[in-house]
Amino acid sequence: MDFLACFPDPFPLMMMRELEVGGFAVKSFGDVEDLINHVEADEDSSVSAVVVSTLSSPETGWATCRSLRTAKNPIGPILVVVQTTRISDLEMRDDLYDDFVLDSMVEGEMSYRAAHLLAKSGKSRRPELIQHGPLILNTETYQALLDGKPLDLTYMEYELLKFLASRPGKVFTRDTLLSRVWGYEYFGGARTVDVHVRRLRAKLGEEHANLIDTVRSVGYRFGSSRWSPKLH
């Protein structure tokens, strides 16, 4: 699992939560020297990247990036969080960060921007994620995020949603879902599938309930919700 060191402490809660549900181990630091010492003392190089927020104090945030870059062993990659109204702060600072994300980001952007940065730097150790619009499933931690908020799913609800979401557009009969999700030794009837679909739709909410489509006289498929990206 990728480990992200974040500055400052406390790090913005919603961003921290999205990174965690996105499959990252996250720890925030309130002191720059503690952050640098932690990274430099990490002989196994488990720190995959540093995320620096400039939201509460732009000057402190950029000074932190500079300290990371000029440390005895320059630290990177660095993902910097910038206020949309201060995007001009990025100018002439290309050497202080590797990628950036704005505070007006859409749901899911924070974790995927971090993932892209790590993939580009060759330092990614992330588990597989399944994403469809605002829905993100972490296949290692069994966590699900919808519109930036965790979904409270049972084990079988998660397994059913994961199976369908990883095969969008494909129709499955109830019997097929029973055998593939519950297993061939499961003795429950087709009503088990209907009950779990009904519960999933309730937890997805009215706006996203039709992510799971009913195909008349056949079964179910993972479809598309009435979703469009929302800016914060």
pLDDT per position as a tens digit, 144-193: 988 878 899 999 999 999 999 989 989 999 989 988 888 866 666 778 89
* Span(s) in the chain for CATH 3.40.50.2300: 3-121
Assign 117 to helix, strand or coil: helix
24: left (phi over 0), alpha (psi -120 to 50) or beta: beta
- The CATH code of domain 3-121 reads 3.40.50.2300
User: How do 212-215 and 219-222 pair as beta strands?
Assistant: antiparallel
All CATH 1.10.10.10 domain ranges in the chain, comma separated: 139-222
- The pLDDT assigned to 103 comes to 92
Please enumerate in sequence order all residues whose Cβ is within 8 A of that of 105, keeping only pairs 6 or more positions apart, or say none: 113, 232
Quick one: which H or E segment has residue 145? strand 143-146
Q: What is the pTM of this model?
A: 0.56
Model confidence pLDDT, tens digit, residues 204-222: 999 999 899 999 889 999 9
Cα separations in angstroms, 42 against 48, 51, 61, 224, 229: 11, 17, 23, 44, 38
Contact between 117 and 109 under an 8 Å Cβ cutoff? The reply is no
Q: H or E stretch including 165?
A: helix 155-165
User: What class is the 139-222 domain?
Assistant: mainly alpha
The pLDDT, as a whole number, for residue 228 is 41
Tens digits of per-residue pLDDT, 70-126? 887 767 799 999 999 999 999 999 999 999 999 988 877 888 888 888 877 776 655
From residue 212, how far is each of 47, 69, 184 by CA, in Å? 38, 47, 23
For residue 196, the SS3 value is helix
